[in-house]
Chains A and B, each alone.
Chain A
Amino acid sequence: MARPTSFGRDTGLQLRMAFTLFLLGLVYVVLIVALLAAGTSGGLVALIAGGLAIFQLFGSDKLALRAMGAREVTPAEAPELHAMIDRLCVQADLPKPKVAVADTRMPNAFALGRSPKNATVCATTGIMELLSPAELEGVMAHELTHVANRDVLVMTLAAFFATIAAYIVQFGFLFGGGMSDDDDNPSAMVLFLVSIAVYVVSFFLMQALSRYREFAADRGAALITGRPSALASALTRISSGMDRIPQKDLRAQQELAAFYIFPPGAGKAIGSLFSTHPPMEKRIAALERLERQLQGVAA
């Protein structure tokens, strides 16, 4: 009567994620071809963007933590949080990440770092006050799943070519415009147009990818804690708490937003295509499905 796992498979999510990655790859191949056709100026832009991406991967952790006003805490300073993460790490078979706390009323949590060995998970004082231990455990398990899935690395790499395209669009007038005065350079013009298209298409694809990875992280959290409903309850509580708090200064932190448990400034006016996180109702519905599978009720 041995059952293989407590939860069913998530083939649909896997397929959507694979399809999104495939489309992203396709779009980027187009850009690479255009870059090669454009010759040296294209190569230069690629080099600069590559450098920036590497800097982002290796150096942005500390900057991001400082931008959030977060500080690494020792086990003596935050014993409960550390003990909770210790246990989750045993369950998830992860090395212990650095643990940071941001002193802000806004209830949120996020994960940083390119690999599990260089990861930092951060919770705000607001979320620790707002949530019950079981709910907070679900949220931290969600962040640890981001770490285990290497979401920072995946999203930075996925954004790499989109960044190149963005640079070409921004500086295209300088490069292409300057040159086309002397000799009409058709390849620069083509590159410029291709870059605009790549930028727009990859933007939507990346937002979709980010949403799928949120679903994956929710699922991972449920697998680690065995309590999907605790995370669902945490999500409702955070979202109702978020609305009351002004979010103006956080809108500037676009890059961080992808790794929040709940995105700051998640207004209803923003179309779902543009958002890095899936709508709350869908996330809760997905968690509810997991709870049903766990309880052995037909999914």
Chain B
Amino acid sequence: MGLFDILTGKRKVKQPAESRLFAMSTAAVSLEMTLELKSSGKAAIVFQPLATADFSSIVADMEEVLRGTGEDTGTGVDRTDDDFGYRWMVLSDEEFEDLVVGINVVSQALQDGGYGERILCAVFAFRDAHDNPVYWIYNYKRGSYYPFVPAGGDQRRDSERELRLKAQIGHELPIEPELERWFPLWGIPI
């Protein structure tokens, strides 16, 4: 943020960074081969639904497109609103590549409509060998991924495992360098 922004007050919400979403398509192969992390067959994109007619119609159009292509690719579309007022578009598909493409369709539709800054993140759900969840969260504003591993119990995360994952896959995925931006997401519905 520049000096002028500091003196006059910040005026914009950051728009999404250049998309590195698709880095996950290739990384997912390594995750499965070397780390025994399998896709749970689900991914989600989280955004703030604005209460405007314009926004609602963009979301409705986007959902229609998703369902249309979903019939060809076999991608299921589901939506839930969480306690914080954020909307989760949950996609389910056994083919991981289709999940990444589907997520991109949603984010692209929102950005084209001028609402790119409303996207919070995308979440890719994996399961380890013991069937415990491991999440990869994509921060659109930063254009980077970070791991999130809930550690059973109340609001606890397995930071050791997350850091290990960063070391193991860091050369294939753009990982968020600042650890204080590895924001947890509790109660992920996928």
Contact = CB atoms under 8 A, between A and B. Distances in A.
Interface of A: 1-6, 9-10, 13-14, 17-18, 21, 75-76, 79-80, 83-84, 86-87, 89-93, 95-96, 133-134, 137, 145, 148-150, 153-154, 212-213, 216-217, 219-220, 223-227, 294-296
B59 interface: no
B18 interface: no
10 contacts: A4-B114, A6-B50, A9-B11, A79-B186, A87-B120, A134-B85, A149-B9, A220-B10, A223-B12, A296-B54
B109 to A, nearest CB: 11
A89 B184 CA distance: 11
B160 interface: no
Nearest to B156: A76
Nearest to A11: B11
A95 B181 CA distance: 6
A217 to B, nearest CB: 7
B114 A6 contact: yes
B60 interface: no
A2 B114 contact: yes
Contact of A216 (B9, B54, B111, B115): B9
Interface string B1-41: 10001111111111000000000000000000000000000
A17 B6 CA distance: 11
A98 to B, nearest CB: 11
B10 A3 contact: no
Given A90-B121, A227-B51, A149 B13 contact: no
Contacts of A217: 9
Point out which of B10, B48, B112, B185 has the most chain A C-beta atoms below 10 A from its C-beta.
Answer: B10
Contacts of A80: 83
B53 A148 contact: no
Contacts of A83: 84, 184-186
Contact of A226 (B8, B118, B181): B118
Given A21-B7, A227-B51, A5 B180 contact: no
Interface of B: 1, 5-14, 48, 50-54, 83-86, 111-115, 117-118, 120-121, 139, 141-142, 154-156, 178, 180-181, 183-186
Nearest to A294: B52
Contact of A76 (B8, B52, B154): B154
Contacts of B13: 91-93, 223-224
Contact of A295 (B14, B52, B85): B52
B62 to A, nearest CB: 14
B142 to A, nearest CB: 7
A275 B63 CA distance: 49
A87 B86 contact: yes
A92 B139 CA distance: 12
Contact of B53 (A6, A213, A225, A295): A295
Contacts of B185: 83, 86
B6 A91 contact: no
Contacts of A17: 7-9
A271 to B, nearest CB: 25
A212 to B, nearest CB: 8
B184 A3 contact: no
Contacts of B186: 79, 83
